[in-house]
Amino acid sequence: MTTKYPRIINVDEAPENRRHGAELRTMLTPPSCGATSGFMGLAIIKPGERINEHYHPYSEEFVFVVSGDLEVDLDGKAHPLKPDQGLMIPINMRHRFRNVGKTEARMVFHCGPLAPRPDLGHVSTEESATAGPPEHAKVGS
C-alpha cells in the first residue's frame, strides 16, 4: 500500500509508550509520514511522573511546553520549564523531565537529525520502573 503525503496524524493514532516513564506518543516519524530529518511527538506527563534521564548521541532535541509545570535536569542541573517556553537540548546532553505541578503537563518534542539506525538514537542512563535497567532503545521509543 502506498501512503499519500502530506499525512495528518492524530495523537490517538500514535501508540502509547511508557518505557521511559511518562506517556510518549511519537507521531511524525519516518514510517508514519515519510520524515527524513527527524521525528516529532507529544509527552503527556501526569503530576509526579517523569521521563527518565537519557541522551541522544546523534540528535538535538527541541521541546515546547504546551501546558503544566515541568522541571528539566540538564547534565544534572535542574531548570524550571513553563508553558509557552521552548528548549533546545544539544547532542549528548543528559536530560530528564519531571512534572512538578498539580495538573497534567503536555510537551511537544522533536529530535533531529535521525540516528544512523533507530536503536542508536536513545541512550537511557537510569533504570525505569517499567523498563528495567538502562539500555539502548529505539529512536522515538
How do residues 55-94 score in pLDDT, each as one tens digit? Answer: 999 999 999 999 999 999 999 999 999 999 999 999 999 9
Structural domain includes residue 52? yes
Report yes or no on 7 lying in a domain. no
Structural domain containing residue 59 = 16-137
Local confidence band at 136 (pLDDT 50, 70, 90 cut-offs): very low
Beta-carbon contacts of residue 111 (< 8 Å; ≥ 6 apart)? 38, 39, 56, 59, 60, 61, 62, 121, 139, 140
Rounded distance between C-alpha atoms, residue 124 and residue 135, angstroms: 6
Per-residue pLDDT, 131: 43
Q: Does residue 56 belong to any structural domain of this protein?
A: yes
Is the residue at 28 inside a domain?
Answer: yes
CB 67 within 8 A of CB 106: yes
How many structural domains compose the chain?
A: 1
CA dist 73 and 141 (Å) reads: 20
Is 36 contained in some domain?
yes
Domain-located, residue 105 = yes
C-alpha grid cell for residue 83?
A: 508553558
Quick check: is 9 in a domain?
no
Number of Cβ within a 10 Å radius of residue 48: 11
Distance CA 65, CA 107 (A): 4
Predicted local distance difference test score (pLDDT) of residue 3: 62
Tell me whether residue 5 is in a domain.
no
Over residues 20-57, the pLDDT tens digits come to 999 999 999 999 999 999 999 999 999 999 999 999 99
What CATH code is carried by the domain that includes residue 102? 2.60.120.10
